[in-house]
Structure 1
């Protein structure tokens, strides 16, 4: 695990420019990260809704953090840490939503498949230029059967 040391920047004055930069960085981080907006308990699952109106059902019996929860305790769950965690103040619980999803093998397999598909469609500049050069030469050469 990578350790990041926090820096103290108390000596740097807050200017309008730095404030605008911080707001922009926060917006980029928010758009590129997991943003849950609500959680509900629908026995036997937690229903987590995201900013884009998608959602996921996670069975609570897979997570030991909820072993001591009674059905009424689930109503106290809320979204915290900028939409990245489930929190329960009465039980002093903070659980990462990404961590919960990563604990599910089928969800991780699906995520790996989606990422592989997306990465397969990407083309580097060199790859695109090579494809154009091959096109100018008439495209991919035809396969020639070896003579027996």
Structure 2
């Protein structure tokens, strides 16, 4: 088993440079993920809005966390934890938005389809070189059926 030694020393003094670096790391991390900006409730569904203008509609009947909620409780639901969770203070509820989306079979199927499509379009340097080499030879060789 590999042992990993902690790199962050808790007794290091906090300077302006250290704080600036931490803030920059946080901004970089925030830019790399989709953050929810709002949540609303109508017709027994939660609409979670994201910073890029997109949103997702999640029926509350699929999530047992909301079984004891009344209509007025949904009005107090807020986006928290840097846009990654839905929070309700009075009910002491904290629900991951990614977890809610991953619990939806249809949304996960769509996500898998999108990821597969994107990955299929990617070309590595080796793949591009092989395609050029095959092109110089007249293209991909035809498959020959061997009959016995």
Same fold (TM over 0.5): yes
Deviation of 1:25 (Å): 2.1
Q: Which runs of 5+ in 1 are unaligned?
A: 1-5
TM normalised by structure 1 equals 0.85
Query: Cα distance, 1:146 vs. partner?
Result: 6.9
Whole-angstrom CA distance in 2 between matches of 1:99 and 1:76: 20
Q: Indicate the residue corresponding to 1:129 in structure 2.
A: 129
1:46 aligned partner: 46
CA shift digits 1:57-96 (9 cap, x unpaired)? 0000111111110000000000000000000111111000
The range that moved more, 106-115 or 127-136, is 127-136
User: How many angstroms does 1:45 deviate by?
Assistant: 0.2
- Bigger mean CA deviation after superposition, 67-76 or 22-31: 22-31
Q: Does 1:88 align with 2:72?
A: no
Aligned alpha-carbon RMSD (Å) = 2.3
Distance 1:136 1:8 in 2: 54
**1:109, 1:7 → 2: CA distance?**
40
1:3 aligned residue: none
Count the aligned residue pairs. 143
Give the Å deviation of 1:142. 4.3
Deviations 1:99-125 (A, max 9, x none): 000110000000111111111111122
Partners in 2 of 1:74 and 1:115 — Cα distance?
32
Aligned partner of 1:112 in structure 2 is: 112
Contact 1:34 1:98 in 2 (8 A): no
The CA deviation at 1:144 is 5.7
The 1:15/1:47 distance shift into structure 2, 3 A limit, reads same
1:22-76: CA deviations, max 9, x gaps? Answer: 2232222212223000000012100100010000000001111111100000000
